[in-house]
Structure 1
Amino acid sequence: MKRTLAVVGAAALVCSLGAAPARAGADNPHAASGSYVALGDSLAAGYQPGLGDNKTGGYVGGVYANLRSKYRGAKLVNLACSGETTTTMVGGGRCDYPGGATQLQTAVDTIKAEKGKVRLITLDIGANDVQTCVARAGAIDAACLQAGMVAVANNTKRIVNDLRAAAGPKTQIVLLNYYNPFLVFWLTGNQPLAQVSVQLQAQLSGLIAQAAASGDAKVADVATAFRSTDWTPTASGVPTNVAAICALTWMCSKTDIHANDAGYVLMASTVNPLVVGPIRPATASVG
């Protein structure tokens, strides 16, 4: 399939995105404050190719704006680490934190120091445990993938339960599952791998859901928001899920897995209804 079809399909999907980014409303002088602790990998860090991290942007920025529309004094603590896996989040070695701590330990210490004032914790973690198991040439390392899934299953439950123990029962914890950048293989002629990637995404989403349930956390369904299983052809013939990846990430234009601005807006809109209600939530629909 020619790349030109990707451009056409992506353009069609972008034109159908009908909502503005999440943003804060007027300050409420009577609203309480509190903290929002953002955790995870490069998506939580707001990474954009060529620009690097933006820890007040990305989907975290949209969630924070929504939170501040209700609680004007809320502060953001973004501890995310680009490239973080569930293993490094627990054991360290990827990013530097005070005293040589891990992201998880730093988060637990931060939450405890807030003494019950943390309103919201968001977490996206696990993609880096498995995404390197898929080569650019389109081959899957099965042993790598199995080991990655086991790590996600074990480590994510520990992470969520440690966060819940530190935060207590009243703090909202929201885990995000992931969109599927490997749908782009449909455009390079490897349609079987694109289809298999949907099954692998479902497996990863299931592990994230299990971890969330173990710690009384919610799941923001990014996979569904990105229409990950919708193979309905667009007007150009590109499947809806493939066109969404082209429209909402940098995969088709820069071969980069990260979300673009529209993608981050859509991610924020999956979290916001689970917290204090949606503020102009983004939707991805194809006419």
Structure 2
Amino acid sequence: MLRSMMQPLLRIAAPVVLVFSLLLLSVPPAFAATHAAVVGPKANYLAVGDSLAYGFQPNLNLNHGYAEDFYANLKSHGTSSYANMACPGETTTSMINGGCTYSVLRKFPYIGSQLNAAVLYLELNAGRVSPVTLDIGANDMLHDINTSTCTVSSSWNSDLATMDANLTQVILPKLSAAMTVNGQRSGDLLLMNYYDPYQNICPTMVSYSQEINQHLAADANGYATLVDVFTPFGGAATPNPNICGYTWMCSLFKDIHATSTGYSVIANAFEQTAGY
């Protein structure tokens, strides 16, 4: 029974896994932000994004992601409600238009696209939502990664441009606008970058991974506070001794998603960056 339950979930990892091999980041000082939260925690916490925001783990432990860990901390600051709209496999395009491949696994039910649902939630709870956490963009680059040859495809630049456009022209502006009440930002919007579970396998892809995360940092500028997850996961040096403990890469699953320990590290990065 466990094997049959795991089959569809393991297929989630396949699309998302390769994507995160991109994500070896080096955040330029100009974009690095710490303790940059302006508003602070409020009654409601909203998490949006892909499988990391969802808290996927291949052992079917789906309740110990970074959003759950962050919420546990937020409760000590008076936050009493938590909505996780993340969808495993989500891209920036599917977040805008709908059609997330694994929408059946949603933790928070909604109709339509994740972005529209998040905007509606913010509007219905105007002035009462902070923070909003977001991780998105990794799955946009899925088809460009070949971990067998440690190379990227010719569509790399165009896919990166699509990610940028979706973030800066649609996703971040809409979330920001929905979090603005009477001309004032009513909550903190936190966008994370990614660790690279494949950095020990494809160290030659560091420059591509750095490029993605630099784009995420630039995209966040003016809309969200960037949360650096890469550094607490061990940085760019290889071999990275944290990969086995913070991800499932060294397990029989060979899966890129974070372990409970890894998700705790991500949650701590959000807490340290937010300053609460």
Into which bin does the TM-score normalised by the smaller protein fall?
0.7 to 0.9
TM-superposed deviation, 1:135: 2.7
Counterpart in 1 of 2:260?
261
2:272 aligned residue: 273
- Match for residue 249 of structure 1? 247
Are the equivalent residues in 1 in contact too, given 2:128–2:186 (CA < 8 A)?
no
For structure 1, the 5+ residue unaligned runs are 1-31, 186-192, 232-238, 278-287
Question: Normalized per residue, which structure has more helix?
Answer: 1
Aligned pair in 2 of structure 1 residues 144, 53: CA closer, same or farther (>3 Å)?
A: farther
CA contact (8 A) 2:42 2:131 kept: no
For 1:252 and 1:47, how far apart are their aligned partners in 2?
17
Unaligned runs of 5+ residues in structure 2 are: 1-40
Q: Which residues of 2 match residues 156-167 of structure 1 at below 5 A? A: 156-157=167-168, 158-167=170-179
Give the ranges of 4+ consecutive aligned residues of structure 1 lying more than 3 Å apart after TM superposition: 96-99
Task: Give the match's secondary structure for 2:155.
Answer: helix
- Are 1:80 and 2:80 an aligned pair? no
Q: Distance in 2 between matches of 1:132 and 1:267?
A: 26
1:276, distance to aligned residue in structure 2 (A): 4.4
The equivalent residue for 1:212 is 220
Residues 265 and 132 (structure 1 numbering): CA distance in 2 closer, same or farther, change over 3 Å? Answer: farther
TM-score, normalization: structure 1?
0.73
Shift of 1:225: 1.4
Normalising by the residue count of structure 2, what TM-score does the alignment of the two structures yield? Answer: 0.76
Asked if structure 2 preserves the Cα contact closer than 8 Å seen for 1:184 and 1:252, the reply is no
Q: Offset of 1:228 from its aligned partner?
A: 2.6
The counterpart of 1:172, out of the listed 188, 206, 228, is 188
Q: Share of identical aligned residues, percent?
A: 35
Q: In the superposition, relative to structure 1, how do residues 262 and 140 fare at CA in structure 2: closer, same or farther (>3 Å)?
A: same
Contact 1:45/1:78 (8 A) holds in 2: yes
Q: Which residue of 2 aligns with 1:107?
A: 118
Could you tell me how far 1:129 is from its partner in structure 2? 1.1
3-state DSSP of counterpart to 1:184: coil
Aligned-residue offset at 1:160: 1.2
Give the number of equivalent residue pairs. 224
**Structure 1 residues 52 and 128 mapped into 2: Cα distance closer, same or farther (>3 Å)?**
farther
- For the pair shown, the structure with the greater C-alpha radius of gyration is 1
Q: Distance in 2 between matches of 1:182 and 1:154?
A: 26
* Contact kept? 1:226, 1:245, Cα under 8 Å: yes
Separation (CA, whole Å) in 2 of partners of 1:225 and 1:87: 29
What does the per-residue CA deviation read over 1:243-263, in whole Å, with 9 as the maximum and x for residues that have no partner?
222221111222211011111
C-alpha separation in 2, matches of 1:52 and 1:86: 25
Aligned-pair CA distance for 1:87: 1.1
What is the DSSP-based 3-state SS (H/G/I as helix, E as strand, rest coil) of the residue aligned with 1:120? Answer: strand
1:142 corresponds to:
153
Partner of 1:188: none
Shift of 1:200: 1.5
Q: Distance in 2 between matches of 1:52 and 1:41?
A: 16
Query: 2:244 and 2:146 mapped to 1: Cα distance?
Result: 19
Q: Distance in 1 between matches of 2:61 and 2:92?
A: 21
Asked if the contact 1:160–1:214 (Cα under 8 Å) also holds between the matched residues in 2, the reply is no
Query: What amino acid does structure 1 have at the position aligned with 2:67?
Result: V
**Cα distance, 1:276–1:66 mapped onto 2, change above 3 Å:** farther
After superposition, give the CA deviation of every residue in 1:98-137 in whole Å (9 maximum; x if it has no partner).
34x2000100000000021001100000111114422342
126-135 or 103-112: bigger deviation: 126-135
- In structure 2, how many angstroms separate the alpha carbons of the residues matched to 1:132 and 1:173? 29
How far 1:167 moved relative to its partner?
A: 0.6
Contact 1:44 1:58 in 2 (8 A): yes
CA contact (8 A) 1:183 1:194 kept: yes
Assess, with a 3 A threshold, how the Cα gap between structure 1 residues 65 and 214 changes in structure 2: closer, same or farther.
Answer: same
Distance, in Å, in 1 between the alignment partners of 2:124 and 2:246 is 37
Cα distance per residue 1:5-28 (max 9 Å; x no partner): xxxxxxxxxxxxxxxxxxxxxxxx
